Amino acid sequence: MLSANSPPLLSLPLELREQIYSQALSHPSNGPQLLGTCHEIYTEARKFLFQRPLVFHGQSAFYRWLAITPSNYLHHVSEIVLELHDVDLEPLLGNAADAMQKSSVPRLLAWELYGQELERLQAALQKVHKVKLFTLRALEDQQSFLYRNFLGKVLEMLGPLYPDLQHLGLAGNFHYQSLTFLSALSQLRSFSFDGFTSSSPPETAEILSSLQHLSSLSLVSQYTLLTPTTTPHVHSAYTSKPQSFTGAVLRTMNHLASFSVTEPLRPACSPTLFLVPELLAPLHTHAALRRLAIALAYTPDKETLAALEDFMRKAPIERLELDWPQLLPEVLEEYVLVGGKDLPAPHDSDETNVARATRRLHALGVRVEWCTEGA
């Protein structure tokens, strides 16, 4: 029986209240206000805080969070972003000083510290065993051999830890790592990386095409990790290897329903990485493809826009997301939806052009969302 002072929210069925909690607490700014309403709402809604993406800047931050979090909430955690910091080797200094004073004291080796950290991290990740979305951020700078080996072992333990993992994102320098660990993630549905690993394009094609549930792929370029060049052959600045992901790899991914390309920064001396005709062409044959998202820090050239136009004529796209400088409705008119009676007039306003382009895209069954700098 509710009291007269009870919030109206508590008069709703619990199932409906939990849906409201889940939606309301999906944004970080909404937590304090809702949870501070009353003790009953706090008790019911608190678990939904742990369903939000949890970002940890290093293993130490993750360990500290686990130490203060009640264990009965850990099974609600579904998404983690973890920055993998290097192991602190300072204990070696104290151990070496002790060994100099007492010859019988065994010296602690660097690889033993990495082994201990790996065991500790594995035990910590096991406590959040319901994770479905995992993003791992590696160091972007030059990595030591021990760190690269440590990073590789962390990747290898993801399969045994999270056999039902649905999304995996890799950010930072993974150029020394092979993609073979992905074979253990048979339920993976979405994968994001920068297209550069130690795996060759044929190896990458074999691995990605073997993941039968993989339907979404995101390529996020990291030019700071590449060797500047004016040729179309871009190489890793660390391994000198060319990109692992090519048009030939994309051609083998028959289950792909969503494809995303993000190039947040491109030096003038470097070519475009992924938004090129050679990469768009293989997408024509992907019957399952329904979403294409392109976000660029530069305006694509006419050749690329023409390839995009050709792609739109052939591909069964339902959702198109485009974002780059000087992306005007006239660009869509000229390169994507050429022809028709509803053509722009010389003095039409931006609002009129946007409405016209939207109508014509909707006529093709393409969902459109506009976002402008003034919005």
Q: What is the pLDDT of residue 269?
A: 58
Q: What is the pLDDT of residue 350?
A: 62
Q: What is the pLDDT of residues 81-128, one digit of tens each?
A: 999 999 988 877 765 555 555 555 455 588 889 999 999 999 999 999
Q: Is residue 117 part of a domain?
A: no
Q: Is residue 44 part of a domain?
A: yes
DSSP 175: T
* Among candidate residues 122, 121, 173, the one with its CA nearest the CA of residue 144: 173
Q: Is residue 15 part of a domain?
A: yes
Q: What is the pLDDT of residues 227-275, one digit of tens each?
A: 766 555 567 877 778 888 988 899 999 889 999 999 887 666 566 677 7
Q: Is residue 290 part of a domain?
A: no
Q: Are 266 and 226 in contact (CB under 8 A)?
A: no
Residue 212 has pLDDT above 90, yes or no: yes
Q: Residue 40 sits in which domain range?
A: 9-52
Range from 3-7, 11-15, 329-333 carrying the lowest mean pLDDT: 3-7
For residue 143, the surrounding DSSP H or E stretch is none
Residue 138 has pLDDT above 90, yes or no: yes
The structure's pTM equals 0.81
Measured between alpha carbons, how far is residue 220 from residues 195, 284, 309, 327, 351 in Å? 8, 21, 22, 20, 31
Residue 176 has pLDDT above 90, yes or no: yes
Say how far apart CA 55 and CA 83 lie, in whole Å.
Answer: 8
Q: Is residue 97 part of a domain?
A: no
Q: Is residue 108 part of a domain?
A: no
Q: Is residue 271 part of a domain?
A: no
Phi, psi of 221 (to 5 degrees): -70, 150
DSSP 240: -
Domains identified in the chain, total number: 1
Q: Is residue 20 part of a domain?
A: yes
Average pLDDT, the chain: 82
- Percentage with pLDDT > 90 across the chain: 40
Tell me the pairing of strands 226-227 and 235-236. antiparallel
Q: In this structure, which amino acid lies at residue 16?
A: L
